[in-house]
Amino acid sequence: MANKIRKILLVSPRYTLFKDDVRRCVAPIGLAYLAAFLEKDGYEVKILDAAAEGYDNVKIHGEFLTYGLDDEEIRKKIIEFNPDVVGVSCIFSTQYENVKKVLKLVDDIDPNITTMVGGSHPTYAVDEVLDLGNVDYIVMGEAELSTLQLLNTLNTGGDVSEIGGLAYRKDGKNISNNRLQYIQNVDDLPSPARHLLNMELYFKINLPQNPYTCGKRVAQVITSRGCPARCVFCTTTNFWGNRYRGRSAEGVVKEIRELKEKYNIDEIQFTDDNLTLEKKRAMDILDGIKNLGLMWCLPQGIAVWALDEELLEKMKESGCYQLTFAIESGNQHVLTDIIKKPLNLEKVKPLVKKAHELGINLHAFCICGLPGETVEQMYETYNFVLDCGFESASFFLATPLIGSELLKICREKGYLSEDMTCNKQLFKIGNITTPEFKAEEIQSLVEQFNRDYNRNDKREKRFEDGKY
């Protein structure tokens, strides 16, 4: 390719979390999808997963820790590849400070390198990110089409103002083209460019999204994009275009077969929210993998409202050992009128019973501290999960993420903590105070819920024994 832009470096930065949390090591499949899309058009792409490559480099600062390659190591990687463009992923606001450090490194190395940032935080915080001064472009929402159009336009000297889903500065002003672009048929996407990732490193560390694995060689697979629900705390719905797009069963099974053949995987973790939204598609996927000898789980959380006993039976037949039920609340009013999740709680207990009869381990996701919720209703959530008999549960604090309806509500009502910053948008830090409760009160309550519910959690022992 005789273009001035040819080499693209995609960076997943260092990772920051609470110092007592598990340091997971999850392959950046989103970047791998983008890389494959660009490679298909002739670009030379490299992925730098700074968190994975520097996994053992841990720095503790206060109640947090950061792990990953240090600045000098990242600098060497950039210089060695000598890219024309550096794109940095910023999925979570909590990683924004790490993203800024990568951008500064690029600017110090060569300010002529074109920089772009993508992910949830820059999509919803356009002005804040552009005002850094060392970001040339923000790719908003789904990245593939806008990024490819940007690179091709830069190579031809065209007008970037026509590219949907792009934000940039011009004449001292921030410009946003909010006509976000989405691939209509997600089967048109090439398989993620896992050849650009050090897959053996992820297998060696073996701490993926669900760290209590059955397998030793675990791969993540995404079967869909988007969600039709409108949960108040979530940014996923808007980010993926306010609708669900599922890959074909044939395409998903083909990818999994290739993972088995090429990498000898023994476990799959499905990391989208809607494996079961289209029942026939889900059944076909499960039928397609049941003879591959793989274990699998759903650590991201399953849409319980799109689950039934027939699907559970098929899941067990195909190797499912664990499901995470995204319950959110044990109070129907909170669930329906505050969270706006389309789940009837009467459906949950029979499905838990059926899963246990089949030998499937169950984890629950719950959220506490939403505007309009009472402390009594939070206790109802705890008791509901306990009564259902989930083996383990994660109780999260309602967190007003950038781009969520929850943030808008909290701002309008003046419920936000004055000291809330990006690095405090974590599901263990209270940021919301309402007439019903104080932030620190609910933070302590959630800590108690997690401690009490999971004190007899046997997942770690089962992991060590190699069985569930």
Residue 464's pLDDT is 42
Backbone angles phi, psi at 23, to 5 degrees: -80, 90
**DSSP-based three-state secondary structure for 27:** coil
Q: Give 7-52 pLDDT, tens digit per residue.
A: 999 999 999 998 888 899 999 999 999 999 999 999 999 999 999 9
Residue 236's pLDDT is 80
Burial class (CB in 10 A: 0-12, 13-18, 19+), 32: buried
Residue 461's pLDDT is 38
The CATH number of 208-465 is 3.20.20.70
137-173 b/e (C-beta count within 10 Å ≥ 16 → b) = bbbbbbbbbbbbbbbebbbeeeebeebebbbbeeeee
Q: Which two tokens stand for residue 32?
A: 């791998």
Residue 5 backbone zone (phi > 0: left; psi -120 to 50: alpha; other: beta): beta
Burial class (CB in 10 A: 0-12, 13-18, 19+), 51: buried
How far is it, in rounded angstroms, from Cα 210 to Cα 391?
Answer: 14
Asked if 137 and 158 count as a contact pair (C-beta separation under 8 A), the reply is: no
3-state helix, strand, coil split of the chain in percent (to 5) is 40, 20, 40
Locate the DSSP E strands across 146-200. 166-170, 173-177
Residue 421's pLDDT is 61
How many Cβ atoms from other residues are within 10 Å of residue 380's Cβ? 18
Collect all residues with Cβ–Cβ distance below 8 Å to 268 and sequence separation of at least 6: 218, 219, 220, 221, 256, 259, 289, 294, 295, 296, 297
DSSP assignment letter at 114: E
Residue 162's pLDDT is 92
DSSP assignment letter at 121: H
Burial class (CB in 10 A: 0-12, 13-18, 19+), 264: exposed
Show the low-confidence residues of the chain (pLDDT under 50). Answer: 1-2, 460-468
CATH class of 7-177: alpha beta
DSSP assignment letter at 332: H
| Closest to 309 (Cα-Cα) out of 364, 348, 351, 358 | 351
| Closest to 385 (Cα-Cα) out of 452, 306, 300 | 452
The domain segmentation of the chain, as residue ranges, is 7-177, 208-465
Q: Give 131-164 pLDDT, tens digit per residue.
A: 999 999 999 999 999 999 999 999 999 999 999 9
